[in-house]
Amino acid sequence: MGFPRLGGICTRRMNDLVLPAHRLKAIAVSLLKAAGVPETDAELVADSLVEANLRGVDSHGVLNLGIYVERIRLGLVELHPTFPLLGGGSGTALIDGQNSLGQVAAMRAMELAVTKAREAGMALVGVRNTNHCGMLAYFTSRAVREGMVGFASCNAPVVMAPWGGKERLLGNNPICVAIPAGSQQPIVLDMANSVAAKGKVYAAQSRGERIPEGWALDRNGQPTTDASAALDGGSLLPLGGPKGSGLALVMDVLAGVMTGSGFSREVGSLHRQLTRGMKVGLLMGALNVESLVPLSSFRQLVDSYVQQVKGSQPAPGFARVHLPGELELESRARRSAEGIPIPQKVWEELETTARELGVEL
């Protein structure tokens, strides 16, 4: 166990192993293929995980590889889905996720939304019954590359009580909107509805770190900074109180109820319920900017807006004003140049997974 001997391809920083993105992706692809995932799908899933690590969203990165592989080996994931069309119209569609890898279903849905939006102006595509799909910004960027506004949401296992209640009934159901710009970077709002995503609590637990105050409660409803206490029967706190609670409920209805997927307590846990598929619902959308205004004009106006925001005076205690997604893009540039830090516990889990699959890291 432990880190490999270091050479020109990786370095060590503090207690982390630092790997270049292409090497980390190669490891992820090799593990997924060894677990039986078709090569094209393995490339997609690995790319989405490493992209999350590049952006600093480590909770949605390669630390999930071990549990993905475990669920695959337990027969809880369909590796050869056909994604039959269940319904829809000129600007809508509902596809059967067939208990597939979430990233594969999500990209299929987003590509279909982009195709339909070219003709209809806007399209929404739902996915019934899939699994954890990782970072939503990975999929909305597909629409942005086509000059469209991308929208994505999904539901998740319950982690929060509704506002005023004490029973966990709401998932931390995220929402992502990505807007194309011109010379500026796209605006990417990718947010969960709690103060912090549950994946960040898992990430803190894997690093042996405490979580900030205000993130979570323990099983007795008391505030905690212990990541394990938050995960063991505890709950996350909603962002903005009733506002975050309400948004989580609405996203569960749109992504879960409307697609015929699981919702509320019906959505399975990625890490704990290893007897069935997760029954996650997805909703992917694309808005063709050209159907409303010329894309070139829109890009110029977004650039102007971005420049106004970034050029505005920061409040006391802030060095500058950030746009949604800007910190993640800065992390991506930095980690692309310097490498991606992998905590020792995560590396050891990757080693264990590789050993079980007969893969040499």
Residues forming the active site: 132
Q: Give the C-alpha separation, 296 to 29, whole Å.
A: 38
Report whether 282 contacts 113 (CB < 8 A). no
Q: Which amino acid is at 36?
A: G
Give the C-alpha separation, 337 to 12, whole Å.
15
Burial 88-114, CB ≥16 within 10 A → b, else e: beebbbbbbbbbbbbbbbbbbbbbbbb
A 10 A CB-CB count for 353 gives: 22
Widest Cα–Cα separation across the chain: 57
| Other CB atoms within 10 Å distance of the CB of residue 322 | 13
One-letter amino acid for residue 178 of the chain: A
Would you give the end-to-end CA distance of the chain in angstroms? 12
The answer to whether 92 and 125 have CB atoms below 8 angstroms apart is: yes
